[in-house]
Amino acid sequence: MPPPGAISPSYIYACTRFRVRRTTLLPREDYLRIMGMSIPEIVTYLGRRDYYGQEIVDLAHDFAGAQLIEEAVNRNLAQSFRHAMAIAPGDLRTLTGEYLNRWDIANVMAILRGTVHDVPRRQVRDLLIPAGEIDGALLTRLLDFTTCEEILEALQDWRLYPILAEYYRICGEQGAFARIENELYRQYYAGLLDLGASGCSGCQELNAYLRFEIDITNMRNLLRLHCAEEACDVRVIDQTMIPGGRIPIDLFRRLYGIETEGEFVSAFLATDIAPVLAQAVRELRQDPNISSFDAAELIWQRWHQRRRPVHEIERGVTRIRLHQLESLSRRHPFSVLPVLAYLERKKYEIANLRAIARGKAFGLPSERIWQYIVL
Beta strands in 71-198 (DSSP E): none
| Domain co-membership, 280 together with 246 | yes
Cα 102 to Cα 91: distance, rounded to the nearest angstrom: 18
Helix, strand, coil distribution of the chain in percent, nearest 5: 70, 0, 30
Q: Residue 285: is its pLDDT beyond 60?
A: yes
For residue 215, what pLDDT is reported?
A: 93
Cα 30-76-375 angle, rounded to 5 deg: 35
Q: Residue 283: is its pLDDT beyond 80?
A: yes
Q: Residue 4: is its pLDDT beyond 60?
A: no
pLDDT digits (tens, 9 = 90+) for 297-315: 988 988 888 787 777 888 8
Termini Cα distance of the chain: 34
| Domain co-membership, 129 together with 102 | yes
Of the candidates 97, 104, 34, 90, which has an alpha carbon nearest to the alpha carbon of residue 66?
34
Residue 133's domain is classified under what CATH number? 1.20.1690
| Domain co-membership, 322 together with 211 | yes
244, 211 contact by CB (below 8 A):
yes
Domain boundary among 202, 219, 239: 202
For residue 6, what pLDDT is reported?
A: 62
| Domain co-membership, 321 together with 351 | no
Of the candidates 16, 38, 14, 30, which has an alpha carbon nearest to the alpha carbon of residue 363?
38
The residue with greater pLDDT, 166 or 118, is 118
Q: Residue 26: is its pLDDT beyond 90?
A: yes
Q: Residue 103: is its pLDDT beyond 80?
A: yes
Q: How many domains does the chain have?
A: 3
For residue 1, what pLDDT is reported?
A: 45
Mean pLDDT value of segment 347-367: 94
| Domain co-membership, 191 together with 248 | no
Q: Residue 11: is its pLDDT beyond 90?
A: no
Q: Residue 246: is its pLDDT beyond 80?
A: yes
Domain boundary among 160, 185, 202: 202
DSSP 264-280: HHHHHHTSTHHHHHHHH
Mean of all residue pLDDT scores within the chain: 88
| Domain co-membership, 74 together with 56 | yes
pLDDT digits (tens, 9 = 90+) for 109-148: 999 999 988 999 989 998 899 989 999 999 999 999 998 8
For residue 168, what pLDDT is reported?
A: 67
Mean pLDDT value of segment 23-48: 94
Cα 121 to Cα 256: distance, rounded to the nearest angstrom: 38
| Domain co-membership, 10 together with 64 | yes
Domain boundary among 331, 347, 363: 331
| Domain co-membership, 352 together with 320 | no
Confidence of residue 257 (pLDDT cuts 50, 70, 90): confident
| Domain co-membership, 186 together with 265 | no
Cα 368 to Cα 93: distance, rounded to the nearest angstrom: 39
Q: Residue 186: is its pLDDT beyond 90?
A: yes
| Domain co-membership, 313 together with 210 | yes
Residue 13's domain is classified under what CATH number? 1.10.132.50
Mean pLDDT value of segment 329-338: 89
| Domain co-membership, 123 together with 166 | yes
Q: Residue 262: is its pLDDT beyond 90?
A: yes
Q: Residue 173: is its pLDDT beyond 80?
A: no
| Domain co-membership, 283 together with 348 | no
157: domain range?
A: 90-202
Mean pLDDT value of segment 216-222: 90
226, 306 contact by CB (below 8 A):
yes
Q: Residue 3: is its pLDDT beyond 90?
A: no
Mean pLDDT value of segment 228-238: 74
